[in-house]
Structure 1
Amino acid sequence: MTVSLELLGRGPSRPDLLDDLVVDEASIVEVLGRWSVTAPVVVAPDPVTGQPALDEVMEVLAGGTPAVVDVAPGLAAIAGTAAPADPASAASGPDQAQSAAHLADLLAVASHAGVGFGSGLVPRCADASQVWALLSGAVAAMTGADIRAAIAEPDPARIAGLSRSAREAIRDVVTCVLVPHDQLATIESALSPVDGD
């Protein structure tokens, strides 16, 4: 039996873009365990942006651990859906401009952490459009493109059409995505038809 020397230097296989991408709270540890990834650490949001502080996220990622992050304020601000209904809630909620910029910064930090698969972000998302927005933002962060523009107008077909190694590399930035248990099957179904590989 012959063994390719190139294969000896490779670590364990990494998941393709949609392999075990969306998970719920109950299954995340088991799913990550399949890929030899440690349990994620939840990084608490800060009140100004509604998202975790960059230095806290960097510390978790530097330890080789996935970081669970709330990204809803940033997604809503970029999509233009974060306008509060009344001035009182505006004073107490996250600042929209800072939330949008902060989400772009979170993706940039994760894309340059350099640790590899399993030490990326685990964002919380509510639906498939948010998942595609974050994956698009991750691609932009990795390539130096406009992250906020990519999040605002994701192109799922383009992302799914990337080479296998490029799709795997996206998972270095977004290890997996936490979704509500009652939406898991719906979101998986909405993502799978786009996967052309």
Structure 2
Amino acid sequence: MKRILFVCTGNTCRSPMAEALLRALSQERGLQLDIRSAGVSTIDGLPVSNHARTVLFRRDITHNGTSKALESGSVAWADLILTMTGSHKRQLLQHYPSAVDKTHTLLEYVNTDPKVLADIAELEGLYSSWHIKQSLGQQLSETERMRLLELEQRVPSFDVDDPFGGPVAVYEQSAAQLEAALRRLLDRLQG
């Protein structure tokens, strides 16, 4: 059974919605997945946002979990880690560089454009090199730094919109964005 971990900031909006939505969508398709979520900047035990609950309820989905802070056990547990933004991904990889091969933003993971995917792979390699060099007190070469900047500008944004603090309509937009991506994720997992 594939173990999937969704990651966002506070684990009260996007990642719990993704967790609950994927659980429901995978059950519809008869696909067994073990799904969890966590936040890069949260504490354990916070309730899921009321608007997130409302959006899920409108889809006949319940989510009774509470926030969980991202920690090494969750990273080790997961076969696939899907973050809501590039920033979440960078934060996670800064603390857990060994997770680079299984960590992606959700939207990049479901992207099928080979040119974009090649750019992402090269960019991730540069990020990994950068983190290793930083830990050794070294810097990227000027060529590596320029290439990293070039790729960052060229690669499209793969961020799921953050509904935090917005009205229910903004949460609905975020949930629709997540649902579309999660359907593509299931296609990929079943393909």
Specify if TM > 0.5.
Answer: no
| Higher share in helix | 2
Give me the TM-score of the superposition, normalised by structure 2. 0.30
